[in-house]
């Protein structure tokens, strides 16, 4: 028998609990009821030896029941309709269904002999992604855990290729003694790009930080001047969708200037790249397709469950050189076939292509465009309604799905409103420091409707009244 009855029963219990959870998500407070410390206690107690693994095992049903009971209070409303914290997609039910199957099928997407269906789903999903995002059809796509790793992969390919052109084989010889690489990056780039540079030995502090506009986009004149001062191999890191404002770097100017100097251009478009899949927003990303590599997420605007990001590299050879893995026991790949393990840092890994394939199949080109536009429209609606209150200042041009607001003049009031809105739980919004002052951030990227947007604005106003 393939599946033991007690395992089957545990699966059914898990599915029923998952369904009940998602059925109740609208009514649930959008913040977790338990904070981390309480969740920690819930997971530890009441085992006799707190902090030690249990001595005796538990039957499958009991484990699932126990897991649900301990986890539920500490679950955050990320899949709910009024969750505007960070930039968090809503794990769409169709993506979740594909993800359940991915776990149940237990495929190792490391190579296409071990897991032909997983590799094929990736190949086709990759083709669809390039088409939807308007990127070169010849580009190669790695299915990674998220945009952070997509940035690592894109920048690893960039590092290898600009050094190869300078006569240095970084994959073989490392960075010791290599020609120095100049890295140019906007001052308002996302923190994870600096992490990626750090992981790759390029350093997060030795970069040339290019001045940005009030909206956080790279200033093209400042970029041109900074580029003129560079010599040797150059990598330029641009951004599509600033985390606070949604602003895009001016790719039409930056990419040709960079290419004229032989630089590699990597675009961090964790969520913003999806504007290119939406005709009404695509103008924001003009010129992006001329870049050399791109990082984006499935688990943000495509609504796949975590972990799902895409590292896209125009030069498939450079991508492969940066990520390649070879061992005699691993099956060789036929000429011209895509080998999943040559596109990502890991060998054994989750078959991420299934959920991506399912989400694109479900939403279709039109559904994705409509969803992106709906989120942008709702962001403008919320910004407009908040700005109507004289005590509220909307600080960004709402070009995408991101809104930042301040309440009154002092940071304390803004921080108090954020605290109150989180305590209230009607909706969830976080804070950030923008240009030296605290702001409330609203990222509209989930299951929000117009009614949810209005309920949330009313809750924010109430929080302001009470703060």
Ligand X SMILES: Cc1ncc(COP(=O)(O)O)c(C=O)c1O
Tally the C-alpha atoms within 13 A of residue 287's C-alpha that lie toward its C-beta.
17
Write down the least CB distance from residue 235 to ligand X, Å. 16
- Supply the minimum distance, in Å, between the C-beta of residue 223 and ligand X: 18
Q: In which region does residue 16 sit, left (phi positive, over 0), alpha (psi from -120 to 50) or beta (all else)?
A: alpha
Instruction: Output DSSP code: residue 274.
Output: G
Please count the other Cβ atoms lying within 10 Å of the Cβ belonging to residue 408: 16
Range in contact with ligand X (rule: CB under 6 A) among 90-98, 143-151, 170-178, 383-391: 143-151
What is residue 24's three-state secondary structure? coil
Which residue in the set 99, 122, 188, 268 belongs to the binding site for ligand X (CB under 6 A)? 268
CB 306, min distance to ligand X, A: 8
What residues numbered 216-245 form the site for ligand X, per CB under 6 A? Answer: 241, 243
Contacting range for ligand X; rule: CB under 6 A; set: 94-102, 112-120, 142-150, 246-254: 142-150
Helix (H, G, I), strand (E, B) or coil at 183: strand
In the window 276-335, what residues touch ligand X (CB under 6 A)? 297, 309
The residue within the footprint of ligand X, chosen from 270, 344, 359, 421 (CB under 6 A), is: 270
State the minimum distance, in angstroms, from the CB of residue 57 to ligand X.
Answer: 35
Any idea how long the chain is?
A: 467
Residue pair 193/268 in contact (Cβ under 8 Å)? The answer is yes
DSSP 425-463: -SSB-EEEEETTEEEEEEE--SS--HHHHHHHHHHHHHH
Closest residue by Cα to residue 290 from 246, 245, 250: 250
Q: Which is nearer to ligand X, 14 or 445 (CB)?
A: 445
What's the min distance (Å) between Cβ of 308 and ligand X? 8
Closest CA to 402 of 421, 429, 424, 420: 429
Report, in Å, the least distance between residue 20 CB and ligand X: 28
Binding residues for ligand X, how many (CB under 6 A)?
13
Determine if 249 is a binding residue for ligand X (CB under 6 A): no
Among 146, 216, 246, 287, the residue binding ligand X under the rule CB under 6 A is 146
CB contact at 8 A, 293 and 151 = no
Residue of this chain nearest to ligand X (CB atom): 146
Q: Nearest CA to 401 among 212, 188, 248, 202?
A: 248
Per CB under 6 A, the segment of 92-100, 219-227, 264-272, 432-440 that binds ligand X is 264-272
In the bound state with ligand X, the residue whose beta carbon lies nearer, of 295 and 467, is 295
Nearer to ligand X, 233 or 285 (CB): 285
Distance in Å, CB of 413 to ligand X, minimum = 26
Instruction: Among 168, 248, 271, 428, indicate the residue that binds ligand X (CB under 6 A).
Output: 271
Structure letter (DSSP) for residue 74: G
167: left (phi over 0), alpha (psi -120 to 50) or beta: left
As measured in angstroms, the least distance from the Cβ of 188 to ligand X is 10
Nearest distance, CB of residue 297 and ligand X, angstroms: 5
Q: Which among 23-31, 100-108, 146-154, 339-347 is the span making contact with ligand X, rule CB under 6 A?
A: 146-154
Backbone angles phi, psi at 441, to 5 degrees: -105, 135
DSSP letter string over 185-197?
EETT--HHHHHHH
Is residue 148 within the footprint of ligand X (CB under 6 A)? yes
Nearer to ligand X, 87 or 363 (CB): 87
Residues 373-412: x where in contact with ligand X by CB under 6 A, - otherwise, as a string: ----------------------------------------
Min dist. Cβ of residue 270 to ligand X (A): 3
Distances from the Cα of 260 to the Cαs of 138, 162, 224, 265, 312, in angstroms?
22, 14, 11, 11, 22
Quick one: CA dihedral 307, 308, 312, 316, positive or negative? positive
Residue 86 CB, nearest distance to ligand X (Å)?
6
Q: Which part of the chain contacts ligand X (CB under 6 A), choosing from 133-141, 144-152, 311-319, 459-467?
A: 144-152
Q: Which of residues 179-198 bind ligand X (CB under 6 A)?
A: 190, 192
Shorter beta-carbon distance to ligand X: residue 270 or 405: 270
Contacts (Cβ under 8 Å, ≥6 apart) of 74? 32, 33, 34, 35, 36, 38, 39, 42
What counts of helices (H) and strands (E) characterise the chain?
A: 14, 11
406 forms bridges with which residues in the sheet?
393
Chain positions 43 to 102 lying near ligand X, rule: CB under 6 A, are 87
Alpha-carbon distances of 227 from 24, 184, 236, rounded to whole Å: 53, 8, 9
Minimum distance, C-beta of residue 269 to ligand X, in the bound complex (Å) = 7
**DSSP one-letter string for 410-422:** SHHHHHHHHHHHH
Q: Does 147 bind ligand X (CB under 6 A)?
A: yes
Q: Which among 373, 77, 449, 400 has a CA at the least distance from the CA of 457? A: 449
Closer to ligand X by CB, 30 or 151: give it: 151
Of 102-110, 257-265, 267-275, 355-363, the window that binds ligand X (rule: CB under 6 A) is 267-275
Judged by the rule CB under 6 A, the positions of this chain that interact with ligand X are 87, 146-148, 190, 192, 241, 243, 268, 270-271, 297, 309
């Amino acid at each position: 028998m393939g599946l033991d009855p007690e395992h089957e029963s545990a699966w059914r219990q898990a599915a029923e609990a998952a369904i009940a959870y998602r059925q109740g998500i609208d009514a649930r407070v959008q913040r977790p009821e338990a904070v981390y410390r309480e969740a920690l206690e819930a997971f530890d107690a009441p085992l006799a030896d707190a902090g030690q693994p249990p001595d005796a095992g538990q039957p499958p049903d009991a484990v699932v029941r126990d897991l649900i009971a301990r986890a539920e209070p500490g679950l955050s409303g990320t899949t709910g309709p009024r969750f505007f914290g960070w930039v968090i997609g809503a794990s769409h039910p169709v993506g979740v269904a594909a993800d359940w199957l991915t776990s149940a099928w237990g495929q190792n997407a490391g190579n296409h002999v071990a897991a032909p269906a997983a590799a094929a789903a990736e190949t086709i999903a990759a083709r669809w992604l390039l088409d939807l995002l308007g990127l070169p059809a010849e580009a190669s796509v790695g299915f990674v855990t998220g945009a952070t790793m997509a940035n690592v992969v894109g920048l690893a390919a960039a590092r290898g290729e600009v050094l190869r052109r300078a006569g240095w084989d970084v994959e073989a010889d490392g960075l010791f003694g290599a020609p120095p690489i100049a890295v140019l990056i906007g001052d308002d780039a996302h923190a994870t790009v600096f992490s990626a540079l750090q992981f790759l030995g390029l350093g997060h502090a030795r970069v040339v930080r290019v001045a940005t506009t009030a909206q956080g986009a790279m200033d093209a004149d400042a970029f041109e001047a900074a580029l003129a001062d560079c010599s040797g191999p150059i990598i330029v890191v641009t951004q599509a969708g600033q985390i606070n404002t949604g602003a895009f770097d001016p790719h039409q100017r930056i990419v040709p200037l960079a290419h004229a100097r032989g630089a590699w251009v990597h675009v961090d478009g964790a969520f913003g790249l999806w504007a290119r899949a939406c005709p009404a927003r695509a103008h924001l990303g003009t010129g992006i397709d001329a870049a050399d590599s791109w990082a984006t997420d499935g688990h943000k605007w495509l609504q796949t469950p975590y972990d799902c990001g895409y590292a896209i590299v125009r030069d498939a050879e450079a991508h492969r050189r940066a990520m390649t893995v070879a061992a005699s026991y691993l099956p060789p790949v036929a000429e011209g076939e895509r080998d999943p393990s040559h596109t990502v840092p890991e060998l054994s890994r989750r078959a991420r292509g299934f959920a991506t394939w399912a989400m694109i199949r479900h939403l279709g080109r039109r559904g994705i465009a409509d969803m992106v536009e709906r989120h942008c429209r709702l962001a403008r609606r919320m910004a407009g309604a908040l700005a109507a209150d004289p005590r509220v200042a909307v600080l960004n041009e709402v070009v995408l799905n991101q809104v930042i607001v301040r309440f009154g003049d002092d940071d304390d009031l803004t921080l108090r409103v954020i605290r109150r809105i989180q305590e209230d739980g009607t909706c969830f919004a976080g804070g950030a420091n923008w240009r030296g002052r605290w702001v409330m951030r609203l990222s509209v990227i989930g299951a929000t409707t117009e009614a949810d947007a209005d309920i949330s604005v009313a809750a924010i106003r109430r929080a302001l009244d009470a703060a």
